[in-house]
A and B are shown apart, each in its own frame.
Chain A
Amino acid sequence: MKSAIIVFPGSNRDRDMIMALKTAVGRAPFQVWHGDTELPEVDLIVIPGGFSYGDYLRVGSMAAHSPIIREVRTHAEKGVHVLGICNGFQILTEADMLPGVLMRNSNLKFICKDVHLKVEQNKNPFLNKYDLFQVVRVPIAHRDGNYFADETTLDELEDGGRIALRYCGSDGDVNPAHNPNGSRRNIAGIFNKRGNILGMMPHPEDAVEGYFGGLGGKPLFEGLSSALGK
């Protein structure tokens, strides 16, 4: 699988993502600078976490208007898979490539900790190596991960099988007690209509080596590699 990672000024989990792809897929991604206007031919585009442009206006909003995001959109429309993690997810919603918005966490603070996620949909290249409703442990590290959309949009996401992951307890119980940031319906990740874009707040790239407290994120990269690898 060939992949590209978009690096903005202020991206800071690009290095983690490059390592994760190397470890799990065996091939490092192309690094594409935000000022570039062309993308190499790839199977997967990754928008990593961080604080693009310092997140000084509204999280992700400046990056969403960068030239390279126009390219990402064109490629996504052609069917290339796009994975946006944390700030990447925020950028994708700001760019209207995914519905909804990521607001300030309900406790108003940055939160870094391991959470449990329930896999809600596995018939896609991103999550095909997980069982349906499998509970996986991966970390979150964000201040603005409180997913919000209106009820109609949320119903559409539910009906279209577009909710990828929800926050839950270690037993898979989805309830407000296991919602770290106030997200509507405990949503941690969603797909676009076509199913080739996944945006998620948690960091699977920080859970691909056993020493670091789990392997919960590894199947995501292996799944992508086997589904998209040529």
Chain B
Amino acid sequence: MTAIKATLVAEHGITDDEYKTIIEILGREPNLTELGVFSVMWSEHCSYKSSKKWLKTLPTEAPWVICGPGENAGVVDIGDGQAVVFKMESHNHPSYIDPYQGAATGVGGILRDVFTMGARPISNLNALRFGNPNHPKTQHLVSGVVEGIGGYGNCVGVPTVGGECNFHSSYDGNVLVNAMTVGLAQTDKIFYSVAKGVGNSVVYVGSKTGRDGIHGATMASSEFNSDSEGKRPTVQVGDPFTEKLLIEACLELMATNTIIAIQDMGAAGLTSSSFEMASKGGLGVELNLDNVPARETGMTPYEFLLSESQERMLMILRTGQEKVAQKIFNKWELDFSVIGCLTDTGRMVIREKGEVVVDLPIDPLAQASPEYDRPWVKTKIQPVITPDEVPQPKSLIQTLKDLMGSPDLCSKRWIWEQYDYLVMGDTLQRPGGDAAVVRIQNTKKAIAITTDCTPRYCLADPVEGGKQAVAEAWRNLTAVGAQPLAITDNLNFGNPERPEIMGQFVGAIEGIREACTVLNFPVVSGNVSLYNETNGVAILPTPTIGGVGLLADHTKSVGIGFTSEGETIYLLGESKGHLGQSLYLREVEDREEGMPPQVDLVAERVIGDLVRAQIQKDVISACHDISDGGLLIACAEMALASMIGIVFADLDNSTPAHAYLFGEEQGRYLVTCKDPGSFLLSLKEVEVPVKIIGQTGGNTIDIAGESISLLELKEVHESWFPNLMSK
């Protein structure tokens, strides 16, 4: 047995104090394999040791929540015995090292989290952040990540229906790839990971185990430096074809009454899945590595236990039902092997060739899992920037063109046309709108899905930024007429050992908590990704929010495109011309400054509930929330989505034109109406600021004596991305 040296402990990312705890638990020094087990189980990625304290403060309950955080994914009731199962997860570090495989296996992993629970995946989304467009690696990373997501999702046949993509130099050395999957299940057929029944078989299914991805979880728990590309072997390799077979085989098996518990082998592979299942059930587990299907010969126990080979699942089956399961997996030509059983010893005992290679007490190890209260400092509040501190542009139309052709506001068609967003035949609203809408087959129902975060707001004020991310997700679901149900949060931050980064994290959680509470929009699943830094430079704090909402009747939904000419465009919500942290300030004045816009959650709810009710009553014909870029950008997006122009009403002079048109106040919507009479009547019942912006019609946007044809604007809007990628 290898003697454990201090350097080896450090290489495994285990601190001196943590090592002392290990010796206390075991009453002896661990062997190398056991040290490996501890290193992954106690990694930031698996143990949430820096974030746990704060995650516990998030609201996770509502009458419609069936299962909140702690399982493979969250489960929410959508009526008629049906539930949606969803989660978002990051694959940031691997995607930087190997963009294609990193992104592809990110999609594979999140799909498994969802179908593990008995749900058929029906939609994928992805939130991507890349570095400065002019950075030498950006083009390569964008191309690889998009191709990897498409390569995996298209092949497994789950539509990729939406997402977002931003650029900022803080992501130069650390891109973010956050993938979300939504699945559909029957409420009486949800599968959990709690092992039960001493003597029941532990069964391994899926792909064989190889030497790929060893220490992926540990890699994801430290900062990057310039040697990080040498970590390529820690990136897993994906096989979407096997995943597709695994989905079909698991769902087929789940329709029989044979599975007691099931868990995918994700981060830290076999170790983490078997340990977690036994731990949740308060049981022990014995495994025999000789029975684990291996891709190559000569693998050591250390490698078997820490491999992150993809497309593998671990199940606890009812005794005597192994044959039923084996038959199904044989049909799908997947590996199937009984590799152990549950015991009442409370220990995890692993054997290889008759020898015990790991013998750990489960409960003490789980109990002793480190939890840190890391020091943090509150982020300094930025000054308010008033409109008169920002110069007026020479031409509003030229500014509109510049912004519509800027990295964050340009059309992302180049990305989503590489994704199959139609397969399964239920995509009602395609990428490019406020939220994707996907029909629930054989019903009138549909679900709406969105991902949102504005990292520059989060940097300036983490509390407001966290609030805004949740509010924008709620708003985007509302804008298609859906009732927002719940969120998944994917919290991407820098090194938590730095108090100012920890302060960002604590602030964002506070904002998320506040917004979720007021909007009745609980967190049901999530993922934390820390140490997103390279050479000491942290990313912008990026708490990505994935929101899911329900449409009781999918025919009562609207998109962002105008539906006819001659309709009045109404602006709902208050506009004061807030330019701090706006894209206008960044793109036109090259200033990333000021206090971000504040979210008034009470007003948010009043106005959102009004809009949703009017969409559901068939009064509204088109709706778009106002976000990045402000009012004029939102108007232009509605016009381009329909190729119907706008004639603006005269601007009043209460606010300077550039602040009014490009300011980014929150809680605002633009709507047009089929039935303006009913709409105006509904406004009498609530106090919502309303203003007429102009009329739809023609093929130009006419404002303040200037004009631009939609064709010209479309060209600017659509060409930025292809130009970047063909450089």
Contact = CB atoms under 8 A, between A and B. Distances in A.
Interface in A131-173: 139, 141, 143
A120 interface: no
A51 B428 contact: no
Given A9-B333, A10-B244, A141-B422, A110 B154 contact: yes
A112 B418 contact: yes
Contact of A109 (B147, B421, B439): B147
A213 interface: yes
Contacts of A51: 154-155, 157, 240-241, 244
A212 B430 CA distance: 9
A10 B241 CA distance: 6
Q: How large is the interface on B (under 10, 10 to 19, 20 to 34, 35 or more residues)?
A: 20 to 34
Contacts of B240: 51, 54
A141 B554 contact: no
A13 B157 contact: yes
B48 to A, nearest CB: 35
Given A10-B241, A16-B424, A213-B430, 13 more contacts: A16-B423, A19-B441, A51-B155, A54-B239, A54-B241, A55-B241, A109-B147, A112-B421, A141-B154, A141-B420, A206-B423, A211-B428, A211-B555
Contact of A50 (B157, B425, B428): B157
B555 A15 contact: no
A5 B202 CA distance: 36
A78 interface: no
Interface in A108-144: 109-113, 139, 141, 143
Contact of B418 (A12, A111, A139, A205): A111
B422 A139 contact: yes
A117 to B, nearest CB: 16
A110 B423 contact: no
B427 to A, nearest CB: 7
B570 interface: no
B417 interface: yes
Interface of B: 147, 150-151, 154-157, 239-242, 244-245, 332-333, 416-425, 427-428, 430, 439, 441, 554-555
Contacts of A205: 425
A50 B248 CA distance: 14
B244 A109 contact: no
A206 B420 CA distance: 12
27 contacts: A10-B155, A10-B244, A12-B155, A12-B423, A13-B425, A15-B424, A15-B425, A16-B425, A20-B425, A51-B155, A51-B157, A51-B240, A51-B244, A54-B241, A55-B241, A56-B241, A110-B420, A112-B416, A112-B419, A141-B154, A141-B420, A141-B423, A205-B425, A211-B428, A211-B554, A212-B428, A213-B430
Contacts of B430: 213
Nearest to A139: B422
A10 B248 CA distance: 10
A207 to B, nearest CB: 9
Contacts of B428: 211-212
Contacts of B154: 51, 110, 141, 143
Contact of A12 (B156, B333, B421, B441): B156
Nearest to A113: B417
B241 A53 contact: yes
Q: Is the interface of A mostly helix, strand, loop or mixed?
A: mixed
Nearest to B334: A9
Nearest to A205: B425
A16 B424 CA distance: 5
A81 interface: no
Contact of B245 (A9, A139, A206): A9
A20 B157 CA distance: 17
Which of B154, B240, B245, B439 has its CB near the most chain A CB atoms (within 10 A)?
A: B154
A203 B241 contact: no
A206 B554 CA distance: 17
B648 to A, nearest CB: 29
A181 to B, nearest CB: 12
A139 B425 CA distance: 11
Given A54-B155, A112-B418, A9 B424 contact: no
Interface string A98-114: 00000000000111110
Contacts of A9: 241, 244-245, 332-333
Contact of A206 (B156, B417, B422, B439): B422
Nearest to B425: A16
B344 to A, nearest CB: 40
Interface string A190-219: 000000000000010110000111000000
Which of B154, B420, B421, B439 has its CB near the most chain A CB atoms (within 10 A)?
A: B420
B428 to A, nearest CB: 5
B310 to A, nearest CB: 14
A53 B241 CA distance: 7
A163 B403 CA distance: 45
A50 B419 CA distance: 13
A108 to B, nearest CB: 9
A143 B150 CA distance: 10
A221 to B, nearest CB: 13
Contacts of A143: 154
Nearest to B153: A110
B332 A111 contact: no
A225 to B, nearest CB: 19
B8 to A, nearest CB: 40
Contacts of B422: 112, 139, 141, 203, 206, 212
Interface in A1-52: 9-10, 12-13, 15-16, 19-20, 49-51
Contacts of B423: 12-13, 16, 49, 141, 206
A112 B153 CA distance: 13
